[in-house]
Structure 1
Amino acid sequence: MNKFLLSFMLLFILACNTGNLTIISDLPSTLNEASGIDTTVHSDLIWMLNDSGNPPVLFGTDHNGNIVKKLKLNAKNKDWEDLTSDTKGNLYIGDFGNNTNKRKDLAILIVRADSLKNAKETGVERISFRYPDQKKFPPKKHNFFYDCEAFFHFNDSLYLFTKSHVKGNGGHTNLYKVPAMKGHYTAELIGSFNAGADSDSKITSADIDMHGKQIVLLTHTSVWLFNNFKGTDFLGGTATQLPFYHNSQKESVCFKDPNTLYITDEKTHGSAGYLYEFKLR
């Protein structure tokens, strides 16, 4: 049996066990902990990154999940959690993972579009920020709301959705706004949402479509779609939960087009670690 046929049969079998997610590829081992994904306006590549403890590298893949470019960054991967881009093709890395809620060095790294084209190694610009309502590091456990794994860029600002570690309130997320330019800022709290009570409701990634008309928030078992909002009142529109009928450690999401999402999950206990497509309609 040739390798192509074997791979096809394996993906077919796996697809039968992934609910309404469609497997595009089994990601290479170098992306076993993919926690951020996005596309840019000046490239056909899908950009991905790994989370904390991994080398500070961006991976450009084709639409089958094959790595075709690596870009080393002159920065530390303290806890990279999500990836987003702007209308000029710049990428932003969310180095704001904060499981213990005691970090005082939260940051977003800017990778300029020119570096994504030809460079093999590049520097970054740094956005530092703090949460206006966090007074203790760490706070009491009933206030463990200051982890973050989700954000997107819109109209010269970055919108961050926090991740709760409060028992019985896992799906609570606060929405903060930070300027998308290097500097040090106090984030602006502009809203909140609750996606559920259990740990599978935690928000692990977010994205906005290219027209700014709909956003998505990712959890391990579903995606929340928000539309019909006005301006930047993203959480004030219509919220619809779309279940996957599949549970894994899903860590990143981005729009492929207005009706389709790319989603990745981390490989755990020898399973998952895939690039998926998910149809919103």
Structure 2
Amino acid sequence: MNRIAALLLLSLIALPAGAREPGRDAQPDPPPPLPEGVELAALITDSRLSEISGLALSRRHPDIFWMHNDSHDANALYGVDVQGRIRATLQLPVPNIDWEDISSFEHAGRSWLLVADTGDNGGIRTELALHLLPEPGTLADHDIAAEVVRTIRFRWPDGARDCEAVAVDVQHGAIYLIGKKRTPPDLFRLPLWPEENQPPDTLHEAERIGTLAGIVQPTAEDLARSPVYGRYRSQITAADVSADGRYFAVMSYLHIYLWPRHRDGWGAALAQPPQQRDLPWMAQAEAMGFDAEGRALWLSSERLPAPLIRMDLSVQP
């Protein structure tokens, strides 16, 4: 990335949140440097990715991320390189009602993608969907055949809710889902590979297994400064489990939270106080995933130009 583009991006993502809110006339302070261990890799400007809502590292193609847009956009996944350029487009044979997250994992010698159609801003959906498909072997534009995609249909056990954070723990054959708007956020589980003898249109019920501890809630000052948006900033927008199964990460609009695996499972782990890291300011941080080694997180935002950011987890906050 050239110096001009880097300076432009820093001016977009590094401003304090209050400096960019409508109705504030004061001139913002100069943008602070990115935190130690946080690296700006690219600036995504392609209009096809106008509302990035999910990000997952490819398990087959080095330095490629699979990304998608939010609700009622193209039913497409985009392969994006570390320079922020689209290198491939996958057209899926399922609608994008409200795609909110994506996971990548390896199972039985194959690389897989899971697309979570779990968004529900209005709290009205009685059925949601998780779409599983093998990752293509070539980095090119593909129309994915309907018979290749396997859909897990499910509902919540206690009524509709919005969910933007979904993670796969392939070692334990489980999918984890986190509610967005309830306090504290609730944690649910579904089987990654439901029983083979079940009809494909079986409607599964997500199992509630606990809540997330340590999620910072807005202060009275936050709410006074921004009554509309202040309450949203603590909500969970993305999740991932590292490929080695050792760590669970979630993201809010302001923070990253990390938990190590617990011998009693992720329900017990996420009930413990997490390690917390501040995000650099982004317009709407909703896409996050681990790198292949679990040593760093990659982050992006729903607003163009969208930063592609690497957060080194070996650097202590």
Q: TM-score range by the shorter chain?
A: 0.7 to 0.9
**What CA distance in whole angstroms lies between the structure 1 residues aligned with 2:6 and 2:118?**
38
Describe the superposition over 1:94-140 as per-residue Cα deviations: whole angstroms up to 9, x where unpaired.
00101111101211111223477566101322110011122xx6xxx
**SS of aligned partner of 1:160:** strand
Match for residue 212 of structure 1 among 238, 245, 253: 245
Match for residue 157 of structure 2 among 123, 126, 132: 132
* Alpha-carbon shift at residue 272 of structure 1 (Å): 5.1
- Checking the alignment, whether the CA contact within 8 Å between 2:237 and 2:286 is kept in structure 1 is yes
* Other-structure match for 1:60: 79
* Other-structure match for 1:250: 285
Structure with max Cα Rg: 2
**What CA distance in whole angstroms lies between the structure 2 residues aligned with 1:37 and 1:236?**
25
Compute the TM-score of the two structures, normalised by the length of structure 1.
Answer: 0.84
* Alpha-carbon shift at residue 11 of structure 1 (Å): 4.4
With over 3 angstroms needed to count, the CA separation of the structure-2 counterparts of 1:29 and 1:119, relative to structure 1, is closer
Specify every segment of 5 or more residues in structure 1 that has no aligned partner in the other structure, as ranges: 138-145
Letter in 2 for 1:47: W
* Alpha-carbon shift at residue 41 of structure 1 (Å): 2.2
Say if 2:60 is the partner of 1:38.
Answer: no
Match for residue 8 of structure 2 among 2, 10, 34: 10
**SS of aligned partner of 1:6:** helix
- Checking the alignment, whether the CA contact within 8 Å between 1:19 and 1:244 is kept in structure 2 is no
Q: Which moved more, 1:194-203 or 1:18-27?
A: 18-27
Aligned residues: 261
* Alpha-carbon shift at residue 22 of structure 1 (Å): 2.7
**SS of aligned partner of 1:89:** strand
Where does 1:1-281 land on structure 2 (aligned, <5 Å)? Answer: 4-11=2-9, 16-17=31-32, 19-20=34-35, 21-27=38-44, 28-44=46-62, 45-87=64-106, 88-114=110-136, 120-122=142-144, 123=146, 124-134=149-159, 146-154=161-169, 155-164=172-181, 169=183, 172-181=184-193, 183-194=202-213, 195-198=215-218, 199-230=232-263, 232-233=265-266, 234-256=269-291, 257-267=293-303, 273-280=306-313, 281=315
- Checking the alignment, whether the CA contact within 8 Å between 2:75 and 2:92 is kept in structure 1 is yes
* Alpha-carbon shift at residue 62 of structure 1 (Å): 1.2
**What CA distance in whole angstroms lies between the structure 2 residues aligned with 1:230 and 1:237?**
13
**SS of aligned partner of 1:43:** coil
Letter in 2 for 1:217: V
* Other-structure match for 2:229: none
Letter in 2 for 1:147: D
**SS of aligned partner of 2:71:** coil
**What CA distance in whole angstroms lies between the structure 2 residues aligned with 1:117 and 1:266?**
24
**What CA distance in whole angstroms lies between the structure 1 residues aligned with 2:70 and 2:307?**
16
Describe the superposition over 1:228-247 as per-residue Cα deviations: whole angstroms up to 9, x where unpaired.
52252331455111112525
**SS of aligned partner of 2:127:** coil
Identity level (%): 26
Compute the TM-score of the two structures, normalised by the length of structure 2.
Answer: 0.75
- Checking the alignment, whether the CA contact within 8 Å between 2:176 and 2:189 is kept in structure 1 is yes
Q: Which moved more, 1:235-244 or 1:102-111?
A: 235-244
Describe the superposition over 1:66-103 as per-residue Cα deviations: whole angstroms up to 9, x where unpaired.
11000111111000000002213110000010111110
With over 3 angstroms needed to count, the CA separation of the structure-2 counterparts of 1:56 and 1:228, relative to structure 1, is closer
With over 3 angstroms needed to count, the CA separation of the structure-2 counterparts of 1:101 and 1:11, relative to structure 1, is closer
- Checking the alignment, whether the CA contact within 8 Å between 1:266 and 1:274 is kept in structure 2 is no
